[in-house]
Chains A and B, each alone.
Chain A
Amino acid sequence: MAAPQQTAPGRAGSPQAQDGASTTAIEALERRGNQSKARKSALALLSASWRPALVLAGLFGVWWLVTALGLVPAYLIPSPAAVWDVFVAEWPQLLQHTMVTLQETVVGFVLAAILGVVTAVIMVYSPTAEKSIYPLILFAQVIPKIAIAPILVVWFGFGMAPKIILAVLIAFFPVVVSAVAGLRSVDPELLELSSTMGASRWKTFRKIRFPTSLPHLMSGLKVAVTLAVTGAVVGEFVGADQGLGFVLLLASGNLNAPLLFAVLILMSIIGIVLFLLVELLERIVIPWHASRRNNLVLAGG
C-alpha cells in the first residue's frame, strides 16, 4: 500500500492547485446548488426585458401623441385607440386569419428545417452531391421569391400549398447554410479519435457530429423562422382568400388604416412568438451552449 501514500500529493493537490480555471469550476458547482433555477430564470427574464419594454412604451407614447395632436391625418396613421377598436370589433375574423397565416408559416418552417438538415447532411457526407446540389441551392436563393409567387399560384391555386412552398423556399437557405457550417465545425481530431474507437459512421454522426452542429443550426433556424412568416405573407399577397396578407391587401384597398395597423401588429406577434419558441427550443436542446451566452432576450443564464 505504498503507492497511494506516495502519490497522494499529486492526486489530492492537483484539482485545487491547478490554476485559476479550476476555481471557476468550483464556483460553477456552487452556483448550481445555491439558487433555484426558476427564480434565476425569472430574474434573468426581468432584467433582459425591462429595457425593450420601456422603449416599446416610449414608441407607443410618441404614436399616441402624434395622433392626439393631429399632426398626421388619421387615414395615414390611426390612433392607438382606433386600432384597439378594430381588434375588439373584428377579433373572431382576425384570429381566424391569423391562424391561417400561422399554420402556413409553421408548416413551411418545419418542412424547410427538415429538408435543409437532410440536404446539409447529404452535402457534408458526399462531395459529389455537394458539387451538384450547391449551385442549384444558390440559384434558388438568388431568384427573388416574390417573383416565384405568381407561378406557384398558377400551379397550385389559391389554397395553402403555394404559401407553404414559398415559406419553405425562403426559409430553406439559412437552414442549409447553417447546418453545413455546423456539421463542418466538428474537430477533425475528434473524428479521427472516433475511428480509432471503431465507431460506425452513424454512431459518429449521432454522438459527435450532429450535436456539434446544433449551435450553428439553431441560429440558422432562428433566421429561418422569421423569414418563413415573410414567405407565407408574400404568398397571400399574390393570391389568397384568407390569411393576414389577404386582409392587409383588403385593408389597403379600402384605405382602412386602423385594420392595416392591426394586421401588422398581428404579423409581428406571429414572428416574435415563433422566434421565442425556437429560442426556447435552443435552450432545451443545447443548454451547454445557451448558458454561455447572455446577449439574447431569453438567454439570461
Chain B
Amino acid sequence: MIGASVLDREPDAHTTTSPIIEVEGLTRRFRSKRSETVALHDVSLSVNQGEFVTIAGPSGCGKSTMLKIIAGLVPASEGSVSIMGEPVRGPQKQIGFAFQRSALLEWRGVRKNILLQAEMRGMDRKHAAARADELIELTGLTGFERALPHELSGGMQQRVALCRALLHEPRILLMDEPFGALDALTREQMNVEMNRIWRETGTTILLVTHSVAEAVYLGNRIVVMSPRPGQIVETLEPGLPAEREYGPTMQDPRFAAASERIRILLGASQSHD
C-alpha cells in the first residue's frame, strides 16, 4: 500500500452506523427578474461512510447545485443537509472539493499548488509537506513538482487539483464533473486512478458526472437525476467489486445492465456517452 500509514482512516470511522452525509427534502429555486427556476426539487439522499456515490444526470439537472449546497457554498431554499450529524450552515471545512476546471494558481508550481490547502488552513508545515509528497507519488506527478500549471496537460492539472483536495485528509471528497474537460483516454486513466485512490484512502466520495460509463465504473451506488427540476429518479447498486479493472468491468454484464438502465432513465437523446 502506498502511504498506508497516513492515508488509512482510523478504525472507528468504519464502524459508524449513521450516514456521513444526510440530505433531506432539498429544494433550490433560482429567481430571475421574470421567472423562477426550480433547480432541485425535494431531493433526499444519504451517503454512508466509505461509499463512492456517483450522481448521473443531463446538464442542468441541478446536480452541481446539489454538491455546492452540501459543501455549504450555496444555501438551500428548502430542506436540510447535515454532515457527520452537524447541520450545514456555511462553507464546510472538513471536506475536499474538486471542480471541472482544475482552478490552479498559475504562478505556483505543482507542489505549491497542492500546499495552498495547508497554507489556507494553517496546517503543520512539515506534516503537510510530507503528505503532499505522498500524494504526488500516489497520483504519478513525481518529477513535475515545480512545473507550472500551463506546462501540464489537462489530466495532470486535474491530478494536482485532486491532490490539493486530498491534502488535509478529508473524510468526504466532493467532485463536480472533475474529468468533464478531459479527452476520452485520459478520462479513463483518471477513472482507474480514482477507483484506486478511493480503495486506498477509504474516503467517502460524492462525484457528479454526465458520463454514464464514468458513473457506473466509479460508483458503488449511482443516483440518477432528471432534468429541471432536478429530482432523483432512481438509485442503482450494480454490485460490482470494489477493485475494478477497466476493460473487464466494461464487459461485465452488471455494468452493461446498469448503463442500459441509466440510458433508458435519462432518455435516448442523452445516450451519446
Binding site for B on A (CB under 8 A): 3-4, 7, 10-12, 14-15, 18-22, 24-25, 28-29, 187, 189-190, 192-199, 203-204, 207-208, 211-212, 286, 288-289, 292
User: Is there an interface contact between B152 and A22, defined as CB atoms closer than 8 Å?
Assistant: yes
User: Is there an interface contact between B1 and A3, defined as CB atoms closer than 8 Å?
Assistant: yes
CB<8 Å pairs between A and B, sample of 9: A10-B196, A20-B153, A25-B152, A25-B153, A190-B103, A193-B99, A195-B73, A198-B120, A207-B116
B255 within 8 A of A: no
Please indicate the chain A residues that have their CB under 8 angstroms from the CB of B189 in the complex.
10, 14, 18
Q: A214's closest neighbor in chain B, by CB?
A: B107
What is the bound-complex CA distance between A12 and B2, given in angstroms?
14
User: Is there an interface contact between A203 and B120, defined as CB atoms closer than 8 Å?
Assistant: yes
CB within 8 Å for A288 and B153 given contacts A7-B196, A196-B73, A196-B93:
no
CB within 8 Å for A21 and B152 given contacts A3-B2, A14-B140:
yes
CB within 8 Å for A4 and B101 given contacts A18-B156, A25-B147:
no
User: Is there an interface contact between A15 and B140, defined as CB atoms closer than 8 Å?
Assistant: yes
Please indicate the chain B residues that have their CB under 8 angstroms from the CB of A187 in the complex.
101, 103
What is the bound-complex CA distance between A18 and B196, given in angstroms?
18
User: Is there an interface contact between A193 and B103, defined as CB atoms closer than 8 Å?
Assistant: yes
Q: B73's closest neighbor in chain A, by CB?
A: A192
Q: Binary interface profile of B, 22-50, with partner A (CB < 8 Å = 1, else 0)?
A: 00000000000000000000000000000
Please indicate the chain A residues that have their CB under 8 angstroms from the CB of B147 in the complex.
25, 28-29
User: Is there an interface contact between A192 and B150, defined as CB atoms closer than 8 Å?
Assistant: no
Please indicate the chain A residues that have their CB under 8 angstroms from the CB of B193 in the complex.
10, 14
Contact of A196 among B97, B105, B107 (CB under 8 A): B97
**Interface residue ranges of B1-28 to A (CB < 8 Å):** 1-2
User: Is there an interface contact between B103 and A198, defined as CB atoms closer than 8 Å?
Assistant: no
What is the bound-complex CA distance between A273 and B167, given in angstroms?
46
Contact of A28 among B121, B151, B155, B156 (CB under 8 A): B151
What is the bound-complex CA distance between A211 and B139, given in angstroms?
27
Enumerate the 9 nearest inter-chain pairs by beta-carbon distance, A residue then B residue, closest first: A21-B153, A197-B120, A199-B120, A195-B91, A11-B140, A198-B93, A25-B151, A288-B107, A14-B140
CB within 8 Å for A211 and B107 given contacts A18-B156, A22-B153:
yes
CB within 8 Å for A192 and B97 given contacts A28-B151, A198-B121, A207-B116:
yes
B141 within 8 A of A: yes
Please indicate the chain A residues that have their CB under 8 angstroms from the CB of B138 in the complex.
11
**Interface residue ranges of B60-104 to A (CB < 8 Å):** 68, 71-73, 91-93, 95-97, 99, 101, 103
What is the bound-complex CA distance between A194 and B101, given in angstroms?
15
Contact count band on B: 35 or more
User: Is there an interface contact between A22 and B156, defined as CB atoms closer than 8 Å?
Assistant: yes
User: Is there an interface contact between A189 and B148, defined as CB atoms closer than 8 Å?
Assistant: no
Query: Nearest Cβ distance between residue B160 and chain A, in whole angstroms?
Result: 12
Query: Nearest Cβ distance between residue B131 and chain A, in whole angstroms?
Result: 15
What is the bound-complex CA distance between A14 and B154, given in angstroms?
12
B237 within 8 A of A: no
Please indicate the chain A residues that have their CB under 8 angstroms from the CB of B93 in the complex.
196-198
User: Is there an interface contact between B107 and A286, defined as CB atoms closer than 8 Å?
Assistant: yes
Please indicate the chain B residues that have their CB under 8 angstroms from the CB of A19 in the complex.
153-155, 183, 185-186
What is the bound-complex CA distance between A194 and B120, given in angstroms?
7
What is the bound-complex CA distance between A203 and B123, given in angstroms?
14
User: Is there an interface contact between A15 and B120, defined as CB atoms closer than 8 Å?
Assistant: no
B234 within 8 A of A: no
**Interface residue ranges of B130-158 to A (CB < 8 Å):** 137-141, 143-144, 147-148, 150-156
Central interface residue in A12, A14, A197, A211, by most chain B CB within 10 Å = A197
What is the bound-complex CA distance between A190 and B71, given in angstroms?
14
Please indicate the chain A residues that have their CB under 8 angstroms from the CB of B101 in the complex.
187, 189
What is the bound-complex CA distance between A101 and B248, given in angstroms?
77
Please indicate the chain B residues that have their CB under 8 angstroms from the CB of A292 in the complex.
150
Contact of B103 among A14, A18, A189, A204 (CB under 8 A): A189
Please indicate the chain B residues that have their CB under 8 angstroms from the CB of A289 in the complex.
106-107
CB within 8 Å for A207 and B73 given contacts A14-B155, A15-B143:
no
Contact of A197 among B121, B143, B144 (CB under 8 A): B121
User: Is there an interface contact between B105 and A208, defined as CB atoms closer than 8 Å?
Assistant: yes
B265 within 8 A of A: no
Query: Nearest Cβ distance between residue A66 and chain B, in whole angstroms?
Result: 49
CB within 8 Å for A288 and B106 given contacts A196-B93, A198-B93, A207-B120:
yes
Query: Nearest Cβ distance between residue B117 and chain A, in whole angstroms?
Result: 6
Q: A21's closest neighbor in chain B, by CB?
A: B153
Please indicate the chain A residues that have their CB under 8 angstroms from the CB of B103 in the complex.
187, 189-190, 193
What is the bound-complex CA distance between A198 and B117, given in angstroms?
9
User: Is there an interface contact between A24 and B151, defined as CB atoms closer than 8 Å?
Assistant: yes
Query: Nearest Cβ distance between residue B24 and chain A, in whole angstroms?
Result: 22
Please indicate the chain B residues that have their CB under 8 angstroms from the CB of A28 in the complex.
147, 151
What is the bound-complex CA distance between A24 and B144, given in angstroms?
12
What is the bound-complex CA distance between A211 and B137, given in angstroms?
28
Please indicate the chain A residues that have their CB under 8 angstroms from the CB of B152 in the complex.
21-22, 25
Q: B143's closest neighbor in chain A, by CB?
A: A15
B119 within 8 A of A: yes
Query: Nearest Cβ distance between residue A195 and chain B, in whole angstroms?
Result: 4
Q: A200's closest neighbor in chain B, by CB?
A: B120
User: Is there an interface contact between A21 and B154, defined as CB atoms closer than 8 Å?
Assistant: yes
